[in-house]
Amino acid sequence: MDTELILMQLFSGVALGAILVITALGLSIIFGMLGVVNFAHGALFMVGAYAGLWVASLTGSFWWGLLVAPIMIGAFGMIIEFVLVRPLYGRSIDDPLLLTFGLGYVLVEAVRIIFGSDGIPFPTPPQLIGVVDLGVGFFPIYRLFVIGLVILVLLLLWLGLEKTRFGLIVRAGARDPTIMRVLGVDIGKVWLVVFGLGVGLAALGGVLAGPMRSVNPEMGSLVLAEAFVVTVIGGLGSLLGSIVAGLLVGIAISMTALFAPEMATIVMFALMAVVLLIRPQGLFGKLA
């Protein structure tokens, strides 16, 4: 096997992992703060891709789609939290799970009605077309851009959670929301913003994945499974776990596709099973 081919496949795995990281982070943030298992996350990833494509077609610019779609879908996520999810707080964890599960189907069918069932190509921006020589081979510029942008978003997210007053409130609220209420913090507003942030990250992942795949109503189904696998491997509610597990799963899928393509989808579930057998709480999760 050519070493250059293996290295290029490894880079492809990192690019795929970057998409999984940004998507799973949104899922992990929502669960870690609100305790809500958001089964509509994959559908919102898909809606984000369509929103990015729609904005890009209206403005003629991929960059506007990349900027506006996550904000727009994040705001939509805040509406979902306020209208649908919030009345279910304090009830069984199954209630919001079933609600978001059904919401995912509603979103998929709505997109089918509006845009049809066929895939729609999402053109790569002209500035990012082509390849670059990394010294060990040539790699698509767009995928390098995805990796770089995800690193920037992770840095901004870390700064926001670790170095700002709001980040302190979010972290404290995740540990003990009752104490935060006693201290006079409107925890409902915090939950609203956190849910919108998680959905916005899913939408960003969808826009970034658009030029790498065709945009279609089913594109969120596999991503939802991948995001849950990443979240479980990394540890429920762990941001660091989502990052490490996302890269690990992306590389595992990519390398398996090189040597045994028929096993590429199965390998992430095998990896999850091994991690759960060794460490049931995930790589960076905490035992209840």
Backbone φ and ψ for 109, nearest 5 degrees, come out as -65, -35
pLDDT of 84 strictly over 80: yes
% of the chain with per-residue pLDDT over 90 = 52
pLDDT of 183 strictly over 90: no
| 13-41 average pLDDT score | 89
In sequence order, the β-bridge partners of residue 138 are 133
- Would you say residue 88 lies in a domain? yes
- Would you say residue 268 lies in a domain? no
How many residues are there in the chain?
288
- Would you say residue 185 lies in a domain? yes
- Would you say residue 256 lies in a domain? no
- Would you say residue 59 lies in a domain? yes
- Would you say residue 146 lies in a domain? yes
Q: In whole numbers, what is the pLDDT of the chain averaged over residues?
A: 88
> What does the alpha-carbon distance between residue 43 and residue 221 come to, in Å, rounded to a whole number?
7
The pLDDT of residue 148 is: 94
Residue 149 lies in domain:
3-219
Confidence tier at 287 by pLDDT (50, 70, 90): low
The pLDDT of residue 288 is: 53
- Would you say residue 79 lies in a domain? yes
In the numeric block, which tokens belong to residue 208? 């970034």
| Count of domains for the chain | 1
Look-up of token digits 């870390």: 158
Confidence tier at 174 by pLDDT (50, 70, 90): low
Confidence tier at 1 by pLDDT (50, 70, 90): low
> What does the alpha-carbon distance between residue 137 and residue 184 come to, in Å, rounded to a whole number?
57
In sequence order, the β-bridge partners of residue 131 are 140
pLDDT of 67 strictly over 80: yes
pLDDT tens profile 222-267: 899 999 999 999 987 778 888 999 999 999 998 898 888 888 888 9
Name the pTM for this structure: 0.91
Distance of CA 170 to the CA centre of its chain: 19
pLDDT of 10 strictly over 60: yes
Confidence tier at 110 by pLDDT (50, 70, 90): very high
- Would you say residue 276 lies in a domain? no
| 45-63 average pLDDT score | 95
In the numeric block, which tokens belong to residue 53? 């494509």
pLDDT of 187 strictly over 60: yes
| 196-205 average pLDDT score | 95
pLDDT of 120 strictly over 70: yes
In the numeric block, which tokens belong to residue 100? 């978001």
pLDDT of 131 strictly over 90: no
In the numeric block, which tokens belong to residue 44? 């919102």
